[in-house]
Amino acid sequence: SPRQQGWPGNTELHFPQVLSLVVPRQLQRVTQRALHRLFHTRSCLFVVLHVALQAAVFGEYTWEVFVYCWELQFHLLLLLLPYLLLAGNLGCFLLCSRANPGTVTKSNAASLVKVYAYDGVLFQRGLVCPTCTVEKPARSKHCSVCRTCVHRFDHHCVWVNNCIGARNAGVFLLYLLSLTATAGAVAAVTAALLTQVLLLSNIMHGTYLDAQGQEQPVGIPFLVQHLFLTFPRIVFMLGFVILLTLVLGGYCCFSLYLALTNQTTNEWCKSRRFGDRPLLYKNIYSKGMWRNLKEIFNPPTVLERKKK
């Protein structure tokens, strides 16, 4: 029996207690391992998901939206605009994902140390990365996913399966802008199609009978319901790309703000710790909006700094 084997207390209460302790711990371990594999190891899962979502959206756009718009005699350039933006976005994606973000190695660490000055707050002189065993240049950080130090480290992007650093920050910004523009173009063409369908059907000036049998003028909820019943896949895709455009648009604005102020995501997050105490931290890397934006696409080198 459980008592003879040394199990303490009431066995009727003990077994449920053991199960309640063991099962959550096992689930917690499984969850932690899954999250670690997703976000802390290099994986192509999000790249595949990214490509699959684009394929699904453009498959629906080509199969239905493009055909209906062509029948309604939409301008060809307007219909081809999403494809042109998609081609540019895929080019930026390949460049961003395959580019060296600015890896700090033992051979170039001494040179990279001279590129940016240490601010003495976020970046201290003389610190050595315990993993890479190299001196950490200012504005660099060790990426636990790529297992290397990255110069002017911004963040690790799972969607491109690469770090964003000094050498691919400009391409990443173009990637975000082109992705937002692509989603916005698909949303605009799709919305124009549905609007044209409503105008041609003359349903906007019609009426309907409500649940009480009273005649009511057609409103927006009725029109949305009518479109969803008539074109369910198109309406669902439109809602998805509108949401995507808003989310990406917000992220693009944030990324542009960082670029214009010469900050990285890593530096912005660290500077939030000081809150309303600006005397403790000041961004010493900002050189004005134009020069800051230029630095994103043409990162400084040691030779340029010596010339200055």
Residue 179 in this model has a pLDDT that exceeds 70: yes
**Given the structure tokens 């997703």, which residue do they identify?**
38
How confident is the model over 11-54, as pLDDT tens digits? 444 545 554 555 577 776 666 666 656 656 677 888 899 899 99
* Residue 176 exposed, middle or buried by CB count within 10 Å (0-12, 13-18, 19+): buried
How confident is the model over 53-64, as pLDDT tens digits? 999 999 999 999
Closest CA to 169 of 246, 250, 262, 287: 262
Quote the mean pLDDT of the chain.
85
User: Rounded to whole angstroms, how far apart are CA atoms 281 and 291?
Assistant: 21
Q: Establish whether 96 is a catalytic residue.
A: no
Higher pLDDT pick, 134 / 303: 134
pTM: 0.81
Say if CB 141 and CB 165 are below 8 A apart: no
What local confidence, expressed as pLDDT, does residue 273 receive?
80
User: Rounded to whole angstroms, how far apart are CA atoms 167 and 174?
Assistant: 13
Largest CA distance in the chain: 86
How confident is the model over 251-289, as pLDDT tens digits? 999 999 999 999 999 999 988 887 655 556 788 999 999
Structure tokens at 205: 């000036």
User: Rounded to whole angstroms, how far apart are CA atoms 109 and 122?
Assistant: 18
DSSP 185-202: HHHHHHHHHHHHHHHHHT
What local confidence, expressed as pLDDT, does residue 301 receive?
76
Catalytic residue among 69, 96, 132, 157: 157
